[in-house]
Amino acid sequence: MRIRTPGIFVVLVVLAAACTTNLGSIEGRWVLDSGTHPDGDIPTDIGTRPTLVLEGERINGRSHCNTFSGRYRVNSSGRFEIVDGLAVTEMACADSDAMDAEMRYLQSLQAATSFSVGEGTLTLEGAGHRLVFSSDTSDPTASSPPSDDPDQTVTNQWFPTETYGDWELERGTLDGGAIPIADSHPVKLSVSEQGFGGQVCNSYGFVLGDGDDGSFPEIFSTMMLCTPDRVMESEQKYLDALRRFESARVESGKLVIEGDGVQLIFRPAGG
């Protein structure tokens, strides 16, 4: 017997129209509302409530105990992908349940292969993993409170507004010696009101919430082995230099970072 289901067809058409992908709408600050991992649910009421910040190609945020940073990419079909993994701090969680929740959250984030954006919500899914976020409407320009409030905002207090953008290292010195730059792996830096991050061979970023005492925050990076050796040397010397940060300014269209025995000069990316 032939069964006609015109109602189902109409519903599917409506759903397809409602899920039209808007690439720009994925950017912003998000907080985790709910999550599902193949091993079970991901709680949001243990440790710190997980957050996610997406801006340009940069991704960073806070999990239940640690913070993370990296790069991501999307396309107009709703494809989502974390590029080259995430750099994650390694603080131990005081609560074993929080440690387990954090592991599930980070695994689900890196397993995501698709995204959809609704009214104030972002959903990431893939291989039995599902993360549902709501838009974080807190003021991103507010000062970061010196507390463990899971909803605290994080702002860039080291780079002035005019330095915000994407940059590429033109030349640099560390203790009187030149920092090598491999043609195959340019040194990239992105600066925004949320902070900074970038890539040489590995992706690097800063610890959210660190530096509240006015000191430059701890920088961490992914741990891929880079070849040839010149790339590793370039990355190591550059990160060593960046850790001595004392000031940043724009001069003649270029970003200049200086510190003790350090000068880094960047040109606009693509310039």
Rounded CA-CA distance 171/188 in Å is 12
Give me the amino acid identity at 74: V
Q: Which two tokens stand for residue 93?
A: 């969680």
Average pLDDT over residues 237-251: 94
With a CB cutoff of 8 Å and minimum separation 6, the contacts of 141 are 155, 193
Q: Which residue has the higher pLDDT, 149 or 242?
A: 242
Topology adopted by domain 24-135 = Lipocalin (2.40.128)
Average pLDDT over residues 175-200: 89
Task: Give how far the C-alpha of residue 204 lies from the chain's centroid of Cα atoms, to the nearest Å.
Answer: 9
Residue 15's Cβ-side half-sphere holds a number of Cα atoms within 13 Å equal to 6
What local confidence, expressed as pLDDT, does residue 105 receive?
A: 96
Rounded CA-CA distance 175/65 in Å is 36
Distances (CA, A) of 255 to 14, 155, 169, 249, 250: 48, 19, 9, 6, 5
- Poorest-pLDDT segment among 50-59, 72-81, 99-108, 125-134: 50-59
185-203 exposure pattern, b = at least 16 Cβ within 10 A, e = fewer: bebbbbbbebbbbbbbbbb
Residue count of the chain, please give it. 271
Return the CATH number of 161-268, one of 2.40.128.270, 3.40.50.740, 2.160.10.10, 2.60.40.1180. Answer: 2.40.128.270
Within a 10 A sphere around the Cβ of 15, how many other Cβ atoms?
Answer: 9
With a pLDDT cut of 70, the percent of the chain lying above it is 79
Average pLDDT over residues 111-134: 95
Within a 10 A sphere around the Cβ of 43, how many other Cβ atoms?
Answer: 19
Q: Which residue has the higher pLDDT, 160 or 194?
A: 160
**Against a cut of 0.85, is the pTM above it?**
no
DSSP category for residue 170: E
- Poorest-pLDDT segment among 91-100, 177-186, 255-264: 91-100
Q: Please, where in the chain does CATH 2.40.128.270 lie?
A: 24-135, 161-268
Average pLDDT, the chain: 81
Average pLDDT over residues 235-253: 94
What local confidence, expressed as pLDDT, does residue 23 receive?
A: 56
Taking 60 as the threshold, does the pLDDT of residue 145 lie above it? no
CA angle, residues 129, 42, 123, in degrees to nearest 5: 45
Question: Judging by DSSP bridges, how do beta strands 51-55 and 58-62 pair with one another?
Answer: antiparallel
Listing DSSP states for 99-129 in one string gives: HHHHHHHHHHHHH--EEEE-SSEEEEEETTE
Within a 10 A sphere around the Cβ of 34, how many other Cβ atoms?
Answer: 14
Rounded CA-CA distance 203/120 in Å is 29
